[in-house]
Amino acid sequence: MKISLAKFLRLGVWLSITLILFVLGTNIWVVQSTKSSIYTIDTVPLNNVALVLGTSKRTVEGKPNRFFVERMNTAASLHLDQKIKHIIVSGDNRTKYYNEPRDMLQALGDLDIPEEDISLDFAGLRTLDSVVRCTEVFGQNKVTIVTQEFHCYRSLFIAQYFEMEAVAVSADNGGPIGNALALREVLARTMAVLDLYVLQRKPKYLGEEIILPIKS
């Protein structure tokens, strides 16, 4: 049976509208269900452990990545202010030339954070991987997530799905994030909903439990 061009176009319009509403609805869900758990350095409650989500040390232009700098400064401030005792740095180490956890370890060391208070998670390939590994590998169900505000919502949404007692600290210094990154995050929130509730994805790597050397 042939479909007329007019019917085909109407179908395309309705599909587009449905997709837009789905993206909008999932973003509202992610943001509204997590916004009350986002704090500043001054207001965040005490926790033993901070989970710092990885990002590249430099931009594609080779310049320092302000998101990386902000996350390191925020994590260091939390530690120095005794808002947390231990830091998990979780990120990608896809090659010997690209290693987010090692870069974060070095940056935190430069900010006077003792190496024994930092644990490295080399399998934080995605936000989902980092959050789930925090509880299933590192045994931490109560944690303070450190990242930029736009990323806090999705991170907390994943943590809440896995019944973690998570809060987040916004590492923003007020700079713009750019339209491309904003759109990417909007789509990533929708994908997080699909990953959790439809595809039921798990981290690529888990492994044996790692006991953190948290000071009493």
Q: Using alpha carbons only, how large is the chain's radius of gyration in Å?
A: 19
What is the structure's pLDDT at 55? Answer: 95
In a domain, 210, yes or no: no
In a domain, 204, yes or no: no
In a domain, 216, yes or no: no
In a domain, 92, yes or no: yes
Position 96 pLDDT exceeds 80: no
What is the structure's pLDDT at 2? Answer: 61
Give the DSSP per-residue string, 85-152. Answer: SEEEEE-B--BTTB-HHHHHHHHHHHTT--GGGEEEETB--SHHHHHHHHHHTS--SEEEEEE-HHHH
In a domain, 15, yes or no: no
In a domain, 142, yes or no: yes
Check if the beta carbon of residue 52 is closer than 8 Å to that of residue 71.
yes
In a domain, 69, yes or no: yes
Q: Structural domain of residue 34, as residue ranges? A: 29-173+182-199
Local confidence band at 9 (pLDDT 50, 70, 90 cut-offs): confident
* pLDDT tens per residue across span 161-195: 999 999 999 999 877 888 999 999 999 999 999 99
* pLDDT tens per residue across span 25-84: 999 999 999 999 999 999 999 999 999 999 999 998 989 999 999 999 999 999 999 999
Q: Which residues pair with 89 in a beta bridge?
A: 52, 120
* pLDDT tens per residue across span 117-141: 999 999 999 999 999 999 999 999 9
- Number of independent structural domains in the chain: 1
CATH number, domain containing residue 60:
3.40.50.620
Q: What average pLDDT does the chain have?
A: 94
In a domain, 43, yes or no: yes
What is the structure's pLDDT at 155? Answer: 98
